[in-house]
Structure 1
Amino acid sequence: MFNVGPGEIAIVGILALVLFGPKKLPELGKALGQGLGNFKKSLTDAQSELKTALEAEEKQPAQEESAKPQA
């Protein structure tokens, strides 16, 4: 997808090590992981809410049609 090879990953890792230092790097990784986890959970929750709302909306017109008196 991003077409990133092992050389580019190594360069980014070395750059991060130089910029943040060996003591801050694990903390940054942990914070990034927690942030991505929270984002993924929020996305899953939003998808399930949307699916529930769409299913409820699909059932509602079917119930209204069956409640109409037929002449």
Structure 2
Amino acid sequence: MLDLGLSKMALIGAVALIVIGPEKLPRVARTVGTLLGKAQRYVADVKAEVNRSMDLEELKKMKETVETAARDVEQSVQTTASDFEKDWAETTAGLSSPEPTGWEPPPPEYKHPGKNWRLKRGAVPQWYKARSGVRTKALSGAARVARYRPKPLN
């Protein structure tokens, strides 16, 4: 890359001041700065795209390895299951199945929920609400404004 030190930057600045002139130098410096910024952003975007493509390739490889491992596990489970089924069939071949006795469990009996519609068991008494300051009645917005509006000083 370019090796620009402080002395080289000062030399470039002095030459630019002489060639371009002091009136146009700030505008040219701004233009050069914006162009350099755009170039840096473009290079950063290209680097990010290359990194994403490399990561994508790595992920594809990893996906393939995981899929092959899953297939291997599935095949081993299937072979183990088939071996187990064969062993189970051999073991249970000599056993006779029990005859049905005809007994069925009785259906569950109806149990009354024990509710009394006249009695509210969780009700809080009115005197307790009044003493603790719980609001028992809802006020509309207009009623609330009328109630809490300061009284005029006459």
State if a TM-score over 0.5 links the two structures. yes
Runs of 4+ that moved beyond 4 A: none
Query: Secondary structure of the residue that 1:23 maps to in structure 2?
Result: coil
In the alignment, the residues of structure 2 paired with residue 12 and residue 67 of structure 1 have an alpha-carbon distance, to the nearest angstrom, of: 59
RMSD, matched Cα:
2.3
Once the two structures are TM-superposed, the CA of residue 14 in structure 1 deviates from its matched residue by: 3.1
TM-score (norm 1): 0.74
What is the one-letter code of the residue matched to 1:5?
S
Post-superposition Cα deviations, 1:11-42, rounded to whole Å, max 9, x if no partner, equal 43332222111111111100110011001111
Paired AA for residue 52 in structure 2? T
Could you list the runs of 5+ residues in structure 1 that have no partner in the other structure?
none
Q: Which consecutive residues of structure 2, in runs of 5 or more, have no partner in the other structure?
A: 76-154
Count of residues in Structure 1 that have an aligned counterpart in Structure 2: 69
Quickly say closer, same or farther: Cα 1:3–1:20, change in 2 above 3 A: closer
Distance in 2 separating the partners of 1:63 and 1:24? 58
Identity of aligned residues (%): 23
Which residue does 1:5 correspond to in 2?
7
Structure 1 distance, partners of 2:59, 2:38, is 32
Q: Distance in 2 between matches of 1:28 and 1:61?
A: 50
Partner of 2:63: 63
Superposition pairs for residues 1-71 of structure 1, below 5 Å? 1-2=3-4, 5=7, 9=10, 11-68=11-68, 69-70=71-72
TM-score (norm 2): 0.39
Higher share of residues assigned helix: 1
Which structure's relative contact order is higher, taking Cα pairs within 8 Å and 6+ residues apart?
A: 1
Larger radius of gyration: 2
* Change in CA separation of 1:59 and 1:14 when aligned onto 2, cut-off 3 Å: closer
Q: 2:23 corresponds to which letter in structure 1?
A: K
What secondary structure is seen at the aligned counterpart in 2 of 1:22? coil
> What SS does structure 2 have at the residue aligned with 1:5?
helix
The Cα of 1:67 is off from its aligned counterpart by 2.1
Task: Read off the aligned partner of 1:53 and give its amino acid letter.
Answer: S
